[in-house]
Amino acid sequence: MSAAVRKSEPSGPSARGMARLSAVQAVFQLLQSDDKASDVVEQFLKFRIAEGGDAGMPAEADRPFFRSLVSGVEADQAALMALVEGALASDWKIARLDRLMRAVLVTGVHEMKARRDVPAAVILSEYARVAGQFYQGNEPGFVTSVLDRIGRQLRPDEFAARDAQTPKDG
């Protein structure tokens, strides 16, 4: 097989992409238990290493990034939940979302809020991809919509620059 053919083949998730998926699983665990982030992170790092990626965190995942996401969600959980609830339709409350969707959203919001080194567009697409790992319907679009609304609050300059570059229908 030539190098050109190999380059055109789709690649798997990045080390950070794998860390995001594992972080959402860890945050889900935090949301349904009284566990501390440090304990859940330790469990994922020591005992939930996945060969195929299903049972836990793949060995190639970016561990420091994973740790920062899970710890950050725990430290700022109330504010993150408030941001999510504020981005929902007026007749929706965050309690209406299942725990897994809450985990996807608060992890994405934390990254949007705390990781300015990651472009908002990357965060939007990555958490839509993560949602697609768990859901088969419109949920990835829902995640993108909610994170877009929150991103416009948290990073208005970045979104204004992105909007200015987007061609308008005319």
Name the residue with higher pLDDT: 58 or 158.
158
Q: Once rounded to an integer, what is the mean pLDDT over residues 146-168?
A: 88
The tens digit of pLDDT for each residue in 19-31 reads: 999 999 999 999 9
Name the pTM for this structure. Answer: 0.85
d(CA 18, CA 62): 7
For residue 85, give the H/E element and its range: helix 77-87
pLDDT at residue 31 in the model: 92
Of 148, 143, 72, 152, nearest to 105 by C-alpha is 143
Q: pLDDT tens digits, residue range 115-156?
A: 999 999 999 999 999 999 999 999 999 999 999 999 999 999
Q: Please give the Cα distance from 133 to 118 (Å, whole number).
A: 21
The residues, any chain, with a CB within 8 Å of residue 148's CB and separated by 6 or more, are: 124, 159
Q: Residue 163 has what pLDDT?
A: 77
The pLDDT score that the predictor gives to residue 92 is 87
Q: Hey, what domains does the chain have and what are their CATH numbers?
A: 12-164 (1.10.940.10)
* pLDDT tens string 32-86: 988 889 888 888 877 666 554 445 677 888 999 999 999 999 999 999 999 999 9
Per-residue pLDDT tens digits for 86-111: 999 888 889 899 999 999 999 999 99
């958490």: which residue's tokens? 127
